[in-house]
Structure 1
């Protein structure tokens, strides 16, 4: 693994110019990778498509459905028991079913809004903005001086969303690039 500096440009011609400028600065062509990052949700990471197996904001909704359904079923059964003289023996059953359904809607309160911190891990997963889509160029750098040189070249050409990463660029391909990972801004 090596240190990688990456940045984004709007059009392919700017990527070609950046590649040429990095080569002129002494970076080997096999240490430079250029590619397109798809928009969020379109990376096809999972078998059924998409980037995540579950919506990031719905991580705790299963727990909410169970809690709400159980509580609603008990409350509905109690209310249905009071209705036995009117509804007969089906009162508690219908009350429990309706209560479980209404209670399961409690899961909506477990969903997260954009920017609201997640529970668990570091609590910041929902706070860091995702990587933006667009044309990207990345270069492996050997040391701090080469990193600064790459940053100067990319900044001089107007690169946006400059980031640092760890990875492997071999034969011009960033082999372990994960488009769903959160970028580390420079």
Structure 2
């Protein structure tokens, strides 16, 4: 595994300029990778698309909907039974179905808001910015400062450190959903 320094740019011309500058600074061109990075959640890492099989904020949805449906059904059956002299034997059935539906919808109001941290959870993880990413791999720790300086001078908006392998210009073990180690 090599150290990798990566910088985020917005334009393809900036990527080309960064590649040339890194080569001019002595980095091997086959250990430089440039590619487009999609928005978080749009990396198509799962068979159904997206980054995760289940949304991290929706892990308690099933239990909440079931709890709301059960409570709503009980109230609906009671209301239907009270009106059974007017509605007949279908009153408790219809009341239970309507109550279950309303109860399940009410359970959504108890879910967390976007950006709100999980109960007992950790602070939100900073995601990588979408846009063009230029990464350079090296094995000599003394080259890190030089790589950072080149990317900073060229206007990289976010510079991160990682470990991995870039071979023939391909960062094959890059994980777009991992938390970046932002250094500038």
TM-score, normalised relative to structure 1: 0.86
Distance 1:139 1:101 in 2: 55
**SS in structure 2 opposite 1:96?**
helix
Give unpaired runs (5+ residues) of structure 1. none
Aligned counterpart, 2:125: 128
Find the residue that maps to 2:158 and give its secondary structure. Answer: strand
* Equivalent runs, 1:84-163 vs 2, <5 Å: 84-119=84-119, 122-124=121-123, 127-163=124-160
CA 1:96–1:143: 2 relative to 1, 3 Å? farther
Q: Aligned residue for 2:67? A: 67
Offset of residue 143 of structure 1: 4.7
Residue 169 (structure 1) aligns with: 166
**3-state SS of the aligned residue for 1:136?**
strand
RMSD of Structure 2 on Structure 1 (CA): 2.1
Equivalent residue number for residue 15 of structure 1: 15
Tell me the number of residue pairs that the alignment of Structure 1 and Structure 2 aligns: 183
Q: Check whether the contact 1:130–1:183 (CA below 8 A) recurs between aligned residues.
A: yes
Q: Name the SS for the 1:160 alignment partner.
A: coil
Find the partner of 1:183 among 174, 180, 184.
180
Whole-Å Cα distance in 2 between the matches of residues 42 and 30 of structure 1?
27
Structure 1 runs (4+) deviating above 4 angstroms are none
Aligned counterparts of 1:17 and 1:66: Cα–Cα separation in 2: 56
Alpha-carbon separation, structure 1, partners of 2:90 and 2:176: 54
Q: Deviations over 1:83-126 (max 9, x none)?
A: 22222222221111111001101332343323211247x533xx
1:36–1:133 contact (8 Å) kept in structure 2: yes
Q: Bigger shift: 57-66 or 147-156?
A: 57-66
Worse-matched range after superposition: 55-64 or 17-26: 55-64
TM-score, normalization by structure 2: 0.87
Q: Distance in 1 between matches of 2:75 and 2:114?
A: 33
